């Protein structure tokens, strides 16, 4: 996606060929594809909507302090979401994102007193979103950290001995470690089966690339935290999400220095790199770094409202959003959607997060098989039609829908079929047939050094210049609301000095 939000390491990424994204992406001018194969799908020129892309002028970390919890590929900046939340909603309104990623839209909506509800099919994304929109209090965090430290002091010898053996023989299949969440640490209100037992999570071996990524002392602490934290508990989930954000990176604030923060280098790259250079990850204290990161995350007050984070397919998110809102006694229909659907065959969220997924206990390739990030043009439009059709039941009569859609110009070095003008195609072949109204397309010329493709190096694809935001509505009233609100001035003060009211 065009507007990556990165905390660090932008210039430090090793360039192993296997670590580049599957395809290169380029968002070109508003030229429409002339690919004969898709002649029947040629979108016509659509009206533009003059929304000033002021979000680009804001500081990189504009928005609530929870946003930079963990880097996430193809996330958009919180300032972009604010431009729509401020224009098209009032406090108390529901704001949806069926592809919530790291939770940018729902978190910023909650921080502005709206009800932010996110959904994603990637469990890593759901954990990040849930941590942000349903966070523990600062006091809960302090108490839990103290408990974890105390319990660590009592059991560290055993974990250190286990980690020493793993690091001495990386990849040994007979050295088993407790599965994620399988050894609750005192005070964890762990999910239990009806008979009171803790659900069985098998012990597993640790792959060589995980063993090589950490110093033995750090690995011991991570094994302890991984086995002890419960993702179903609000505070523990926040800790796990925070740990994913500090798991790897090229400064002393990260637990492993073997790879950059933005995404995981390929497992084979890690093994080869260590063999070639004799690299050893420095010793890092997980509790100290966790505490530092938590302090940074909690430097602003908690978001004003609690939100919702669902795990599931965007195609049936509408029904699930309504159920979840109903259960909580909240308005069941949203007035705004701000979302960026998956790219056409670009990002592999499992592969590029394999080390974070190891921590959370998920299989990276299973996640890549699950997600809809590998579609070709036609299948993508069918997918988007199903998503938009399914969402309607959760939208208010005058709802506004902003979809950030990136073009894909190249696919494995060849022009991508129908990859340019994708926003226009989504309108004609996915949104219009589902009865949506078109307000227009807003253009966003993105600073070249912030484009995702640039991050993988110039060979991977040229930096792109334009992003398109397709702005839809559920009715004529919504369409007029979208058009009339486009020019409204926005208050960019953050944190707000006074509670915002529109
Ligand atoms: C471009 S990213 C969204 C990033 C988000 N705007 C943010 O700021 O973090 C697209 C998301 O779609 C998710 N995704 C892919 N297929 C999906 C599906 N069928 N249902 C729901 N989410 C899906 C991916 O896991 C990914 O998080």
**Cα torsion angle, 122, 124, 126, 129, sign:** negative
Cβ–ligand 1 contact at 348 (below 6 Å)? no
pLDDT of residue 204: 86
Measured from the Cα of 5, ligand 1's closest atom is 8
- From ligand 1's centre to the CA of 100, what distance in Å? 6
Closest to 233 in 3D by CA, of 157, 147, 318: 147
Q: Is there an atom of ligand 1 within 6 Å of 246 CB?
A: no
User: What structural domains does the chain harbor?
Assistant: 17-133+303-485 (3.40.50.150), 138-297 (no CATH)
Dig out the tokens for 150 from the structure.
Answer: 């105390």
**Residue having the nearest C-alpha atom to atom 13 of ligand 1:** 99
Q: Give 392 Cα–ligand 1 centroid separation in angstroms.
A: 19
Residue whose CA lies nearest to ligand 1 atom number 3: 101
Q: How many angstroms does the Cα of residue 55 sit away from the middle of ligand 1?
A: 21
| Ligand 1 midpoint to CA 370 (Å) | 11
Q: From the CB of residue 231, how many other CB atoms can be counted at a distance below 10 Å?
A: 20
Closest residue by CA, ligand 1 atom 27: 101
Q: What is the pLDDT of residue 406?
A: 76
Residue nearest to atom 8 of ligand 1 (CA): 75
202-218: pLDDT as tens digits:
678 999 999 999 999 99
Tell me what pLDDT residue 375 has. 79
User: In the prediction, which pLDDT does 454 show?
Assistant: 42
Measured distance CA(181)–CA(158) in Å, rounded: 17
pLDDT on residue 6:
32
pLDDT score at 451: 47
The reported pLDDT for the residue numbered 377 is: 84
Category of 361 on φ-ψ map: left (φ > 0), alpha (ψ -120 to 50) or beta: left
| Bridge-based pairing state of the strands 308-311 and 115-120 | parallel
Compute how many other C-beta atoms are within 10 angstroms of the C-beta atom of residue 303: 23
- Over the chain (502 residues), what is each successive 10-residue block's mean pLDDT? 34 33 29 32 71 91 97 94 98 98 98 98 97 98 97 96 95 91 71 57 86 97 96 96 97 96 92 94 97 98 98 98 98 97 80 96 93 83 96 98 81 60 91 98 61 41 61 98 96 81 48
Region class of 325: left (phi > 0), else alpha (psi between -120 and 50), else beta: alpha
What pLDDT is recorded for position 372? Answer: 83
Instruction: Single out the residue of 145, 445, 442 nearest to residue 297, CA to CA.
Output: 145
Q: Does residue 405 contact residue 426 with C-beta atoms inside 8 Å? A: yes
pLDDT at 447: 45
Q: Hey, whose CA ends up nearest to atom 10 of ligand 1?
A: 342
Mutating to test ligand 1, I would choose from 73, 342, 351 the residue with most ligand atoms within 8 A of its C-beta, which is: 342
Assessment of whether the complete model's pTM goes beyond 0.85: yes
Q: Which of 101, 343, 386 to mutate to test the pocket of ligand 1 (most atoms within 8 A of CB)?
A: 101
Q: What confidence tens digit (pLDDT) does each residue in 231-275 have?
A: 999 999 999 999 999 999 999 999 999 999 998 999 999 999 999
Please tell me what DSSP assigns to residue 427. Answer: I
């Amino acid at each position: 996606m065009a507007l990556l939000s990165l905390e660090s390491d932008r210039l430090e990424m090793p360039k192993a060929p296997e670590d580049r994204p599957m395809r290169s992406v380029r968002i070109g001018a508003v030229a429409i594809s002339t690919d004969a194969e898709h002649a029947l799908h040629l979108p016509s020129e659509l009206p533009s909507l003059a929304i000033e892309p002021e979000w680009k002028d804001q500081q990189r970390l504009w928005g609530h302090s929870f946003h930079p919890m963990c880097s996430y590929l193809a996330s958009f900046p919180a300032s972009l979401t604010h431009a729509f939340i401020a224009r098209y909603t009032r406090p108390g309104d529901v704001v949806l994102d069926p592809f919530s990623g790291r939770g940018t839209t729902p978190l910023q909506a909650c921080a502005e007193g709206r009800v932010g509800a996110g959904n994603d099919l990637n469990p890593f994304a759901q954990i990040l979103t849930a941590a942000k929109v349903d966070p523990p209090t600062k006091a809960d965090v302090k108490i839990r950290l103290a408990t974890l430290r105390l319990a660590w002091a009592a059991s560290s010898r055993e974990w250190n001995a286990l980690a020493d053996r793993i690091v001495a023989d990386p990849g040994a299949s007979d050295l088993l470690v407790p599965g994620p969440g399988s050894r609750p640490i005192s005070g964890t209100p762990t999910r239990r089966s009806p008979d009171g037992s803790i659900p069985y999570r098998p012990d597993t071996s640790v792959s060589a690339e995980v063993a090589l990524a950490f110093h033995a002392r750090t690995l011991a602490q991570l094994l302890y935290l991984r086995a002890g934290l419960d993702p179903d508990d609000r505070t523990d989930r926040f800790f796990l999400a925070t740990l994913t954000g500090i798991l790897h990176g090229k400064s002393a604030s990260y637990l492993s220095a073997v790879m950059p923060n933005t995404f995981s280098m390929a497992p084979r790259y890690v093994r080869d790199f260590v063999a070639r250079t004799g690299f050893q990850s420095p010793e890092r204290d997980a509790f100290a770094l966790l505490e530092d990161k938590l302090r940074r995350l909690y430097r602003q007050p908690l978001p004003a409202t609690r939100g919702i984070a669902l795990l599931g397919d965007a195609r049936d998110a509408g029904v699930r959003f309504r159920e979840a809102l109903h259960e909580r006694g909240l308005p069941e229909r949203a007035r705004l959607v701000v979302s960026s659907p998956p790219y056409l065959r670009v990002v592999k969220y499992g592969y590029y997060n394999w080390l974070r997924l190891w921590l959370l206990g998920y299989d990276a390739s299973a996640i890549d098989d699950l997600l809809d990030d590998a579609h070709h043009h036609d299948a993508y439009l069918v997918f988007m039609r199903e998503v938009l059709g399914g969402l309607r039941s959760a939208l208010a009569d005058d709802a506004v829908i902003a979809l950030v859609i990136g073009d894909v110009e190249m696919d494995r070095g060849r022009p991508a079929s129908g990859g340019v003008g994708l926003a226009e195609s989504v309108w004609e072949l996915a949104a219009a047939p589902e009865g949506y109204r078109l307000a227009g397309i807003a253009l966003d010329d993105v600073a070249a050094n912030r484009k995702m493709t640039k991050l993988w190096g110039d060979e991977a694809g040229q930096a792109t210049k334009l992003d398109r935001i397709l702005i839809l509505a559920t009715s004529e009233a919504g369409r007029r609301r979208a058009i009339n609100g486009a020019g409204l001035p926005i208050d960019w003060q953050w944190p707000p000095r006074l509670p915002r009211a529109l």
